[in-house]
Amino acid sequence: MDKLLFFNLGGGEIFIIMAIVLLLFGAKRIPEIARGMGRGIRQFKDAANDIQEDLEKSVKDVKKQIEEEKK
């Protein structure tokens, strides 16, 4: 693999994109942006886990109701 695969971009293209981001936002803002993105990803994962837990709880409740009705 002589190319760094990230949406089929090579190392040169990624370097150019990073240089443009550095020029647009500056070195001081990039850590703030990264922290904000990290928080956003964390909130998304937490929300996804909450939804998954709610679905699993609902499935367990429905199974329990079905078993009670069989008796």
**Of 39, 17, 21, the residue nearest 30 (C-alpha):** 21
Please state, rounded to an integer, the average pLDDT across all residues of the chain: 87
Backbone angles phi, psi at 4, to 5 degrees: -80, 115
pLDDT band for 6, please (50, 70, 90 cuts).
low
Contact at 8 Å (CB) between 26 and 20? no
Cα separation, 64 vs 54, whole angstroms: 15
DSSP state of 10: -
pTM over 0.85: no
Quick one: pLDDT band at residue 5, thresholds 50, 70, 90?
low
Q: pLDDT, tens digit, for every residue of 26-50? A: 888 889 988 999 999 999 999 999 9
8 pLDDT band, cuts 50/70/90, is confident
Helix pair 11-25, 29-70: axis angle to 10 deg:
110
